[in-house]
Amino acid sequence: MEGPMKEAAELLDLEHREDPLLPWSLFVRRMMVSGGIAALIVSVGLMLGVLGYHFLGRLHWLDSLVNASMILGGMGPVDPIATTGGKWFESVYALFSGVAFLTSVSVFLAPALHRMLHKLHLETGADEQY
C-alpha cells in the first residue's frame, strides 16, 4: 500500500498511552480522514438503498432517494411498497441502515474521543499505576 492510502492508514493508527499527544494539525487531518470514511459508509448505504427501492420497490429514482435517505437517517419510509421483494428489501435495509448509521458515527467520533481520553490520561499521570 502506497501513496494517499498508506498516509490515511498511518493517520488512523492511534497513539499508545505512553506516546505524546498528537499535534493539532495531524489531529485535524485524522478527523478529516475519519470523516471521509464515515461519509463513504453513508454514501454506499444510500446508494444501496436507492438501487433497492428503485429495482425491488418499483419506485422512481427521486422517490427511491427520498425513501433511502429517510430510512438511513432514522425517520422511516415515505412511500408504501407494494411488491413482496420490495418489502423484504425494506426490512433488511432498515436493519442495515441502523448499523451503518452507528458505524459511521463511531468512525467519525473515534479520533476525538481517543484524543480526549489520551489527554486525560497524560494529565493524571496514570502510567505510574501500571
Q: Tell me: the pLDDT tens digits for 3-58?
A: 777 776 676 777 787 788 889 999 999 999 999 999 999 999 999 999 999 999 99
Neighbours of 93 (CB within 10 A): 24
CATH code of 35-125, in short, is: 1.10.287
What is the reported pTM? 0.82
Q: Are 22 and 10 in contact (CB under 8 A)?
A: no
Per-residue confidence band for 101, with pLDDT thresholds at 50, 70 and 90: very high
78, pLDDT greater than 70: yes
77, pLDDT greater than 70: yes
Neighbours of 45 (CB within 10 A): 21
Q: How far is the C-alpha of 16 from the C-alpha of 5, rounded, in Å?
A: 22
Domain ranges of the chain: 35-125
Q: How far is the C-alpha of 66 from the C-alpha of 49, rounded, in Å?
A: 10
